[in-house]
């Protein structure tokens, strides 16, 4: 659930032209088309930059949340006899198949897959063709502990001994499901305290509205840190690609919550001069 909420909220789905946008600086329709096509999902019709960035961020953050990194191979497209570079694609590489070797990379392909596609089980990749997106340090410091805690809390949503056995006489074993459920919700809140996730309201009944809104703002800050880091790393990749294809530019975002807006919301919450619903409304 956490991974889904982060992926869906990193770049929200809203009507085109509303509230926020992505653009290239310096402005160039040609470069924007190249970048949008390179970031968009394979098999889709032509996408604009907003669609391309949303697709890329959504896919990349799911891998980051699962493995702590998201490796990609930069694939270039050329045309004409002169092999002029005209486009690119960021091809996902399963993290567990990639290892550093000397000045380059080696990707190991499962034997059955290699036989099916008639390819080698070992592929050597030059160092400048592979990029590895990482979590920002502010999140990486607690991320592994948080995900391990969530893994443990998500394995058993209720204790097996508390489930009645079909066709058996009901017995009072002294188990209070409501007390257990409350403890589980508190543990869930504790596990995700740094990122501020509200767990889709699973522990709303156990906290004050003030604390819930504070968690809400914490999750907005968490998504901002992830989005800012991803865009920064993506722009570094575009510098590499631009030198090869022949363009320059970086992606900028406007209209999405920034650190100033979130800080102001925290201040309004602490001051108590703005209704809780109004604090959440801009997000």
Q: How far is CA 255 from CA 225, 261, 262, 274, in A?
A: 16, 11, 13, 22
In angstroms, rounded to a whole number, what is the distance separating the alpha carbons of residues 161 and 180?
A: 12
Q: What is the value of pTM for the model shown?
A: 0.87
Q: How far is CA 140 from CA 89, 165, 182, 188, 226, in A?
A: 27, 43, 29, 19, 11
- How crowded is residue 101: how many other Cβ atoms within 10 Å of its Cβ? 12
DSSP 137-184: HHHHHHHHHHHHHHHHHHH-SS-GGGSPPTTSPP---S--HHHHHHHH
* Domain residue ranges of the chain, discontinuous segments joined by +: 138-159+178-219+262-280
Percent of the chain's residues with pLDDT above 90: 62
Report the pLDDT value the prediction gives residue 131, as an integer from 0 to 100: 93
Over residues 41-57, the mean pLDDT reads: 78
**pLDDT tens digits for 9-34?**
999 876 555 678 899 999 999 999 99
Say if CB 195 and CB 172 are below 8 A apart: no
In angstroms, rounded to a whole number, what is the distance separating the alpha carbons of residues 162 and 54?
A: 43
């Amino acid at each position: 659930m956490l991974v889904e909420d982060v992926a869906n909220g990193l770049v929200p789905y809203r009507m085109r032209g509303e509230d926020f946008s992505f653009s290239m600086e310096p402005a160039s329709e040609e470069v924007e088309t190249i970048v949008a096509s390179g970031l968009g999902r394979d098999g889709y019709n032509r996408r604009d930059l907003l669609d391309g960035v949303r697709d890329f961020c959504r896919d990349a953050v799911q891998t980051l949340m699962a493995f702590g990194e998201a490796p990609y191979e930069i694939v270039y497209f050329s045309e004409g006899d002169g092999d002029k570079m005209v486009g690119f694609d960021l091809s996902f590489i399963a993290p567990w198949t990639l290892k550093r070797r000397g000045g380059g990379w080696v990707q190991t392909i499962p034997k059955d897959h290699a036989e099916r596609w008639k390819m080698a089980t070992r592929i050597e990749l030059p160092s400048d063709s592979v990029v590895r997106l990482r979590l920002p340090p502010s999140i990486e410091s607690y991320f592994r502990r948080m995900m391990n805690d969530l893994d443990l809390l998500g394995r058993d949503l209720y204790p097996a001994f508390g489930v009645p056995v079909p066709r058996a006489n009901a017995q009072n074993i002294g188990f209070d499901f409501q007390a257990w459920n409350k403890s589980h919700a508190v543990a869930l809140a504790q596990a995700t305290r740094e990122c501020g996730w509200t767990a889709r309201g699973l522990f709303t009944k156990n906290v004050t509205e003030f604390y819930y809104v504070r968690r809400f703002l914490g999750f907005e800050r968490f998504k901002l840190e992830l989005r800012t880091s991803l865009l920064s790393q993506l722009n570094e990749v575009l510098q590499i690609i631009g030198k090869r294809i022949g363009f320059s530019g970086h992606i900028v975002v406007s209209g999405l919550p920034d650190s100033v807006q979130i800080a102001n919301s925290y201040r309004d919450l602490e001051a108590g001069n703005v209704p809780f619903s109004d604090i959440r409304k801009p997000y």
